[in-house]
Structure formats: C-alpha cells, structure tokens
Chains A and B, each alone.
Chain A
Amino acid sequence: MSDRAPGIGGDLPVTSNPSRWNSDVMQRRVARRYASERRFRRIGLFAVALSAGFLAFLLLSMVINGARGFTQTEIKLTVNFPSIAAGVTPAALSAKGGDEALSGLDLEGLAASEATAAYGENGAALLSDGAWLTLRDAIKSDPTLITRKGEMWVPASVEIDAAAKGRGDTANTRLVAQLKTNGQIKTGLNKTFFTSSDSTDPTVVGIWGAFKGTLLTMLVTALLAFPVGTLAALYLEEYAPRNRWTDLIEVSINNLAAVPSIIFGLLGLAVFLNFFHMPRSAPIVGGLTLALMTMPVIVIASRNAIKAVPPSIRDGALAMGASPVQVVFHHVLPLAMPGILTGTIIGMARALGETAPLIMIGMRAFISSPPTSFTEPATVLPVQIFLWSDEVSSGFVEKTSAAIIVLLVFLMTMNATAIYLRNHFERRW
C-alpha cells in the first residue's frame, strides 16, 4: 500500500519482546486489573443491596411502628348509667330527637367518675379522652342500657396503651402489670381503627372516613379518566389525521404526563374551586383533579396496547366489510383491553397515593364523620396520613404507620392485579 511508510512497521517497540505478556510487570498489572474488576463488581452489588435495603428498612419501620396501631388497649369499666340519666327513657332515646337527648347527658363526666371510683383518684387518667364515645355508641345501639349498670371495655389513654405494648415508663408499666393481674385491662384488635374517622384523640381515631373519601374520589377518577383516556387513545392511534391539531394533542399529553402533581392541584384550585365554584374539599373535585392527572398515563398505556394489535386483524375485519368504527370497537378494542386495563390500574395506583394536589383543593380538612356524597367535605388516606404525621401526640405515630400499611397493601394489591392482567391476558403477537 502506497501510504505505508517503509521501515515504520518494522520497529514498533511493543513487538520487540514476544514474551512480554509473561513478564512480572504484566502479571502484576493483570492482577491489579482483576482486583479492580472484583471491586467494581462488589460496588455494583453493594448499590443494589443498598437500594433494596432502603426499601426493606422503610417497609420494616412502617410495619414495626404500624403493627401496634392495629391493636388497642382497653380498660374494664362498670358504668352506672341511671346515675346521670334519671328520667331518660330508652324510648325517648330511640325516638326522633334522641341524639339531642343523648348529647345532653354528661357521659364524659360519668366515665371519669366511674374510673375514679374503680381505680382510685388518678383513675380518670387511665382512660382515653374519647372513652365516653364508647359509652355513647353502646347506648345508641342498645338504648335500654340507660336503665341499668353496664360493664364495658373502654379505650385506655395513650400512656397506658403504650405501657401495655411494652413502651411505657416504669410507673405506667407497673400499673398495667397490676391491672393485668386483676383482669381489668386487655390489648386486642383495634376495631375502632377500621370503623371510625379522624379525631383529636389518637386512641379513638380510625381510617374509615378517609378510606371512604378515597373510594369516592377514586370512583370519580376512574369514571372520568378511564373512558376519556381510552377514547382519546383510540382516536389518536386509529383515526387521527397527521396534522397540527394532532401534534398539539400529542405534545399536550406527553407534557401533561411530566407536569408535577402539585400543578394539577393549582389547576383544581383555580379552575374548579375559584372559577366554577365547586364545593371545597369534596371528592368530586379531588376526583376531577386526579382524573386530569391520570388521563395522560392511561392514554400513553392504551396507545401502546392498541399499537400492539397487529394490523392483520384490522385488515381482516375491513375486508369483511366492517366500517372503521366497527373494526375498532368490535376487534381492536377488545384485544387491547387487557393492556388498557393494566395501564389504567397503574395510573389509578399512582392517583391513589397522591397527596399534594388534594391538599391544594382543601381535602386536608378535619373530617370526623365519613362523607356520604360526592359533594361533601372529605379527606383521603394519603392526606389523612399527612395530617396525622403532623400531630404532636405520640399516640399518632403508630396510627400513622398503620394507615400507611393499609395504603401500601392497597397499592400492592392494585399493582399485583395489573401484573396478573399483563401476564395472563396480554397476548403477544
């Protein structure tokens, strides 16, 4: 070859020593390189382990804290109802206006005085501030109670509860041990946690209100985002002409998928609340806001599912004389449905864990009774977690973690469903 300078090829210095690969220098170098190889590999494994460790630590700390939240210590109390309810008849309580009659009774004082009578002068401190609610609910479910003495288990105070779970100070621990030998205290499943709503007293709080709010909100989100997302995906994949409008839609959807969730909260606040004057804190507004946030996710997932349906199926149906609309709704959509549902569930799972936009539209209100309609003030599980995490009372720590466990169980169930759908129904062509 003409451009090969004569002579240069002959004196390449590295060729002079054919046994250089076996030289000591080279052997040491190779050993060093292998050591660095092992180190690199170990760093990689360490990174994986550390990341997984974070997850494990997070979940573990929630489980350890939260497990206590599912149990509640109760104290035995013998209550002499007639002492404060002379003249009140069961019939009056079950009749209309009974609630008012009931709220006229000093159940709080009764609980305190009975506790003092049973457990000495500090007896009232054993009980939760919300202990009287147990009395009220008992009377509500059985008004005849008002005429007699009743023996019931009422929630213990935060300190006693902690001591019963092995985390109290020495005085309380001794007290609890003594009560235990007398059979006056027990720690059992905290049913209140699943049936009641928010409260200022950690011993009587529950997630039912927030949970119902979540259900209502998610229902609105699903009812809006699923059809709109699916239809938009169908249009973009199957019919949309290539023009500026379509491009604009695509750009919008891709950008919306990247917009921080709090911006959707601002949108909800400015548009739904301040412009349309929709009710503040309501599931309908929360659902709408989350639907706008979830829709792009569903559109993107649905488009992928629709794209995966082979063109041969469309061609086949068109050849049989079906109209384009029939082809899509009779053939393409059913085949793409598992993929669309998978995307929808994943999008819904994301919405379910979302907190910030709902805070923006006022779903952080203190809601002590479960919402009964889409327009009533409500809160949702993640926001409830946020609110409880702000509480100073130490009794809220375990409740917050317990609520987190419930939320995580839900999310995992949804994601597992999505994975199941993907693995079992999604056909590959």
Chain B
Amino acid sequence: MPLSMIAVIVLALGAIAFAAARSKARLFKPVGTERLHSRPNYHAAHMLLWVVVPALIFVAMWSFVAPRLINQSILTSPAASELPPPGIERDAVLNEIRDLATGKLEVSFNPAAEQLAPVYRDARDHYTILGGIAAALLAYAGGGYAWTRLRREFRARNRVERAVMVVLVAASLIAIFTTFGIVISLLFESLLFFQKVSPAEFFFSLEWSPQTAMRADQVGSSGAFGAVPLFWGTIFIGAIIAMIVAIPLGLMSAIYLTQYARPRFRAWMKPLLEMLAGVPTVVYGYFAALTVAPAIRDAATWAGIPGASSESALAAGVVMGVMIIPFVSSMADDSLAAVPQAMKDGSLALGATPSETIRRVLVPAALPGVVGGVLLAVSRAIGETMIVVMAAGMAANLTLNPFATVTTVTTQIVALLTGDQEFDSAKTLAAFALGLTLLIVTLILNIIALRVVKKYREAYE
C-alpha cells in the first residue's frame, strides 16, 4: 500500500525533526536563577507533533479521497465508454480492474478491465505521488512553524501536555461514540423495519416466518414478523430453564464454599468453578449440540414424551445454566460476605445450627444482592448467542414443552443476517429490530440489578 509508505516517510521526517529540535534545545542555557521551563525532550516532542500530526491527518483523509479520484479518472478515460452503466455490474468491473492492476488477478473475465488496468495504474501512481508531495509539504510547513517557536523561553511542555490531554479525552470519548453508534445504527435500521412491518405486528403477533420469497409473485411472499414466539423462546431458555439450573447450583455452591468448605478446598474450588465462565460459548454450544441434546432426546423418547426434538429447549437451557453458574455463585458469594458477621453470631448465639442461620438469616439478608446477581445472569443469558444458535432450533414455537424446539432472539438475528440478501430487505432489517429489543431489555435488567445491588451494599455500610 503506497499510502502506508507515505505515512512511514512522514514518521521518518518526524524522527529527524525530533532529533534536530532536541539537539538545538540542549544548547539553551538558563538565565540567572530562573530554571528552564521545558526540558529538551518537550521541545522535541512539540516539534514532532507539528511535523507528524497534520501530515498524518492529511494522509488519512487522502486514503478516503484517492480511490474516488482514481475511479473518476478511469471513468473519464476514453476506454471507459464500454463500461456497463453505474450499478453492481460496473462495481464488479472496477474491482476487477483494481485486482488486475495490483497483480491479484492474472486474467480477467471482462475485456474492458484488461484495457483499463493500465489507466488505473497510472492514475494510482499519479495520485499517490500527489498525496505524497502534499503530505511532505504539510510536514515541512508544520516543522517550519514549530522551528520558529523553538526558543529558550518557549513553554513547549504546556503545549505538549495539552496535546496529551486531547488524546486522553479522545480515548475516553470513544466509549460514548460506541454507545451512540450502537444506539443510532440499531434505531435507524429498526425504524426502516417498522416502516415495512408495523410495531404492533412485531411485538404482539404470534407468527414468525421471515422467509420472504425470492420472487414477489411466489406464494407466502410476504413473510410474517410476529416476534412473540422468539421472545418466549428466549425467556424459556435463558430466564427459566437456565435459571432453574444455575440458581440452585450457584447459590448452594456459594453457600458451601463460603460457609462450610475448608480454606484449602475453597482456594481450589472457587477458581475451578470460575473456569466455567471462561469456556468460550462456542464450546458450550458444541457440547450442547453433540452430547447433551441427543442424550436428552433419547431420554425423552425412551420415557415416551411426545414431540422430543434433537434441538430441545432443555438442552440449550441446561448448558446455558451451567455456563451461568459462576455468575450466580460469585454474586451470591459477594452478597453473603457482605452480611455482617454479627448477624451470624447473633443467630448462632441463640442456638441456631449453621444451616438454620444460613437459611433463615444469611440468605434473607443477602437476598437483594443475590437477586441482583440473578438479574445480571438473566441479562447475560438472554444475550448469549452461540449456545442457542448451535443447540436450539430455528422453529418458532410457542410451547411449554422443554423437549420441543424453540428459537430465540439471538438465534434469529444470526439466521436473518447469514445468507445472501440485500441489506434493506425486511428480513435483514428485522434482525436490527430484534437487536434493539435485546439491547433495551438487557440494559434495563442491568440497571435494575445494579440499583438493587447498590442499595443493598449501602444497607450494610
């Protein structure tokens, strides 16, 4: 990439300028008792910033502009008359031209591309050189300005530190940009979706079959976008089955490890259980699909339960519950630890056994923290993707039968966005509406959970 070459050259210029400025600044001598305000390195850094920053900003902008200029010159060249009209086909040819010119392709399908490749190469070299010269000039101008400021009394340190602050602030702002990026992109696509499908249908209708037909005249071409079965599937797997597994196991593990286990046992067991949260979800998904789901189906068939599927809600839910155990147990652990020892002593001193103390005093006292932890775990479970993609099915069923197939919001997002379709079909946009719903629900759950936990912590300050 020639543009990266320009960037390297700019950086090299910067290094030279840095060295030059530093050796000059070394010669500055303090006058009288007054100390030098800025050490040579600061003068040099000031110089470096002026040489590098404007030039690099230009290079970054140029990397956006140049391809467009290059395309422009291809299209205005005489040979371009044979190109197809603007559209997908023309873009394909343009891509081919580029690949030919860069040597990625050796032969082309399109004769026009063969002819235009040299045009592309010329234009590219032309604009690269142009950009390089402009960048060098900018670096030179910046350096020249900084050089004029390179004097003993110049407060280079303040300037450099201000630049550092700008970088720090920019880094912090990325979090805001990301948040806005998420919200705006989801909102935007969702609004497009809701122009095609009414929110009432999406949120309340019971039928989900987004397979919009390829041809408009095909039967059933409309597609149905009632997301209720998806919401139910998500809740069924993530908030019911998974929690039935995770809450008792997580809570009892935390109780055993904090209240009964010997320190050595605890020191080994706690990190071991936390490993459950560190296993990648794709591994859980594979485990669920390969081992758990067939076992559950066979067991159900053996027991004569009708409608047992090899992609059962139970398989996905159980495995997800296992994954969630450490979340519940570590939150429960924290909450139990936050209950003052005095509370425990008070109960024991009345003649309660440890388990009576735990069940009647510790757990009720720790309950808000545990509830907060469970809410966090639920929000985590409903946003979890891979386990359900691999182990839950695609069929949108409104069923209470844990051996049947259900589908979830995340499964459908993946299903809708993989495969070939135009980006603004209702099917694709539906994925964003689902994403927005998921985001809002998880955030609300989180906010409530954090409130509850915070209130609870304050109660025992």
Contacts and interface: CB of A to CB of B under 8 A. Distances in A.
| A touching B, CB within 8 angstroms | yes
Interface of A: 33-34, 36-37, 40-41, 43-48, 50-52, 54-55, 58, 61-62, 65, 227-229, 231-232, 234-236, 239-240, 248-249, 252-256, 258-264, 266-267, 269-271, 274-275, 292, 295-296, 299, 323-325, 349, 352-356, 359-360, 364, 382-383, 385-386, 389, 397, 400-401, 404, 407-408, 411, 415
22 contacts: A44-B252, A44-B259, A52-B272, A52-B273, A227-B171, A228-B174, A231-B171, A231-B172, A232-B171, A252-B178, A253-B175, A262-B438, A263-B383, A266-B435, A323-B157, A325-B165, A355-B280, A382-B280, A385-B282, A386-B386, A389-B290, A411-B279
A386 B168 contact: no
B60 interface: no
Contact of B390 (A51, A249, A389): A389
B260 A41 contact: yes
B414 A356 contact: yes
A301 to B, nearest CB: 14
Contacts of B168: 231-232, 234-235, 239
Nearest to B446: A258
A44 B278 contact: no
Q: SS class of chain A's interface: helix, strand, loop or mixed?
A: helix
Nearest to B355: A40
Which are the 8 A-B pairs with shortest beta-carbon distances? Answer: A260-B383, A353-B280, A44-B256, A47-B252, A231-B171, A356-B385, A270-B185, A40-B355
Given A47-B253, A236-B172, A260 B442 contact: yes
Contacts of A274: 423
A364 B418 contact: yes
A37 B354 contact: yes
B11 interface: no
B149 to A, nearest CB: 19
B178 A45 contact: no
A270 to B, nearest CB: 4
A90 B161 CA distance: 64
A408 B283 contact: yes
A326 to B, nearest CB: 8
A20 to B, nearest CB: 13
A260 B384 contact: yes
Interface residues of B, number: 85
Contacts of B178: 252, 256, 267, 292, 295
A261 B259 CA distance: 35
A259 B276 contact: no
A35 to B, nearest CB: 10
A154 B344 CA distance: 69
Contacts of B164: 325
A240 B251 CA distance: 39
B179 A256 contact: yes
A239 B290 contact: no
Given A270-B189, A355-B385, A382-B282, A48 B273 contact: yes
B296 to A, nearest CB: 14
If over half of B's interface residues share one DSSP class (helix, strand or loop), that class is named, otherwise mixed; here it is: helix
A296 B175 contact: yes
B175 A258 contact: no
B417 interface: yes
B410 A356 contact: yes
A43 B286 contact: no
B276 A55 contact: yes
Given A44-B252, A54-B276, A256-B175, A355 B439 contact: no
Contacts of A383: 282
B442 A259 contact: yes
B108 to A, nearest CB: 16
Contacts of A262: 383, 385, 410, 413-414, 435, 438
Nearest to A228: B171
Given A55-B272, A259-B182, A267-B178, A37 B282 contact: no
Given A40-B355, A355-B280, A61 B386 contact: no
A260 B238 CA distance: 13
A411 B278 contact: yes
Given A258-B379, A266-B186, A386-B386, A249 B173 contact: yes
A55 B277 CA distance: 10
Contacts of B340: none
B280 A52 contact: no
A349 B279 CA distance: 10
B40 to A, nearest CB: 15
